[in-house]
Amino acid sequence: MKLLYKLDVAWCRTFQSVLKIGNYFMGYRMPVCLEGPGKIRELGAFLREKGINDVLVVTGAGMVRRGQVQPMLEGFDTNGIRYTLQSYTNTDPTTDDVERGYQTYRDKSCKAIVAMGGGSRIDCAKGIAAKAVHPKKSVSQLQGLLKVHRPIPPFVAIPTTAGAGSETTVAAVITDVKTHRKAAINDPFLIPRYAVLDPELTVDLPPLTTATTGMDALAHAVEAYTNRTYNTELENRLAREAVRLIHDNILAAYEKGSDLQARQNMQRGAFYAGRAFTRGCVGYVHAIGHTLGGLYGVPHGLAMAVLLPYVMRAYGVAAHGRLAELAEVCGIGGGSDGEKAEAFLRWIEETNRRMGLPDGFDMIQDEDIAQMITWAKKEANPLYPVPVVWGREEFRRLIESVRK
């Protein structure tokens, strides 16, 4: 078993070394960003200037019902932007959702996509965009690394939470309706061309949503920063700044939702974190968290909030240096790197507690653990350049430790 583990580690690190070189040819970029209160009302005029029309609008049914999409649509009407509305009720996007959205896109002869909502809505729209350039492929055939490999239609992402960072990432996480497994389409062509960061869209978020999406963004930044291998100085800088912004603003946004400055800072933090992990990747927090969402319907951000300190501690000394640097960015003191790292993880746990989040999960069943390990390991190894490569036993210990 030790020999197999060593071979697995060697394979992962070799794969990552090759991909590190390949990353320089991937064409990573930042979306053009419209940022500030009220920017959603200006999108119609912006699209008209860019010659973008015949738009599929992908959003949530609840947002349509509450009138949150209406200011944008009025701007479309004023500026002669033709649009078709496609709304969803599922918490997480499924393969069926993507197929249904693509059929609408095709039947209505759409030429561009506007996604408005949380990360799930934007991910669904990315899946539709991938299908638009690969109409004969199933969603499962597109999941994986670099399987889109051609420009998607003009794409605008409008996050209504400050968390997923999907408005600037290469990934679209889709749940298979038959297996319940979550898997990502990963390709630089999925990075949206434009992003709208309007804090007014987030002021009415329930406090729990503010909490979990904010901790999702924190997990993106922390995992990207502790991974190291694929990062350039840009990703490192963005991850550090994202952690600082989230540290300084998440409780203000949670406790006073109308604080537009805190909301704007959280959106910017999520945007930076998304761009950081677009190249730097996430790690075992996400790999395990996706299994909780797929099997038990645990909201993604909640899984991230709970798992983040567990996984970072399990990495041990291999993560101490980078976690200590993040502690310093946040003004969290300590003596050694290990002490600073532990203080930073205690801040995460205390923040979770103040926002009413749990410190573990009670739904994990013994008979599901083997499947969770298989899915998490398949997602993460060899792609994610984590500080320590885990085998099945390490995954098992982590999963069992988080059960309450």
Residue with tokens 């996007």: 93
The reply to whether omega before 382 is within 30° of 0 (cis) is yes
Q: Which domain holds residue 93?
A: 32-202
For residue 161, give the CATH number of its domain.
3.40.50.1970
Residues 21 and 103 both lie in one domain: no
**189 and 232 housed in the same domain:** no
pLDDT at 180: 83
pLDDT digits (tens, 9 = 90+) for 308-349: 999 999 999 999 999 999 999 999 988 999 999 999 999 999
pLDDT, tens digit, for every residue of 81-91?
A: 999 999 998 88
pLDDT attached to residue 1 = 63
- In terms of domains, do 178 and 217 share one? no
Q: Which residues of the chain have pLDDT under 50?
A: none
Q: Which of 220, 185, 390 shows the shortest CA–CA distance to 304?
A: 220
On whether both 396 and 314 belong to a single domain, the answer is: yes
pLDDT of amino acid 91? 80
Nearest Cα to Cα of residue 56 among 31, 18, 83: 83
pTM of the model: 0.92
- Does residue 41 sit in the same domain as residue 98? yes
C-alpha separations of 169 from 1, 22, 146, 164, 269 in Å? 37, 17, 13, 9, 14
